[in-house]
Amino acid sequence: MPRHRIVLILACVVGAIFATGLAFRAGMFKSAEGPAAVGGPFALVDQNGAPATEKVLKGQWSAVFFGFTYCPDVCPGTLQGLAAATDLLGPKKAENLQIVFISVDPGRDDVKQMKAYLSADYVPKSTLGLTGTPQQVAAAARAYRVYYAKVGDGPGYTIDHSTAIYLMDPKGRFRTVIPYSLPPEDIARRINDAMREG
């Protein structure tokens, strides 16, 4: 390929990245209800078999993340990190925060499995576990822009999935994203800052 064509292609790529950055700064990707179009209607069931919609996010802060009960590392680590962060928030703010764990493995994570998984000692007592049919789970994942995909065949398959935590305010609106890699101190700080802003 001629050198001038390579330079032109690189210039276009850099220009596209720059334009996207400007668009984010200008707020072109913001929704009418928050800083990003994250979240929306869903229809699932909780670990007790009760119907659960997006209304479960109303009335208190919610840390929402997607995973599965057979997850070997990321999901237990996320729950442990949130448990530690909740302790750092203090009793009053901790009471105003629920953790919402939405399964991306409807084939194995039925109500019974979800309830057993959430009974582990390291799982915060405020955790709400949600699951549903493949179609219901897919709809919830789309609403939160979550990626997931089955990896492998047979009973020992795993799920590749997004690892971010989505902080929703008491009106059910998205407030901020919390990366999986953050330590509990930083998770608590982000939640505390959002709560303070109201």
In this prediction, residue 100 has a pLDDT band, given cuts at 50, 70 and 90, of: very high
Q: CATH assignment of 38-197?
A: 3.40.30.10
Stronger pLDDT, 133 or 25, i.e. the higher one = 133
Q: What is the pTM of this model?
A: 0.81
Strand partners, 17: none
Which residue do the tokens 């990707």 mark?
29
The pLDDT score that the predictor gives to residue 133 is 98
pLDDT at 37: 79
In three-state form (DSSP H/G/I as H, E/B as E, the rest C), the secondary structure along the chain is: CCHHHHHHHHHHHHHHHHHHHHHHHHCCCCECCECCCCCCCCEEEECCCCEEEHHHHECCEEEEEEECCCCCCHHHHHHHHHHHHHHHHCHHHHHCEEEEEEECCCCCCCHHHHHHHHCCCCCCCCEEEEECCHHHHHHHHHHCCCCEEEECCCCCCEEEECCCEEEECCECCEEEEECCCCCHHHHHHHHHHHHHHC
Instruction: Tell me which of 122 and 188 has the higher pLDDT.
Output: 188
Binding residues for Cu cation: 71, 75, 161
Binding residue ranges = 71, 75, 161
- State the average pLDDT for the chain: 85
Q: Is the dihedral of CA 70, 45, 187, 179 positive or negative?
A: positive
Cα radius of gyration rounded to whole Å, the chain = 19
Reported as a single tens digit per residue, the pLDDT across 14-73 is 333 333 333 333 333 343 344 457 999 999 999 999 999 999 999 999 999 999 999 999
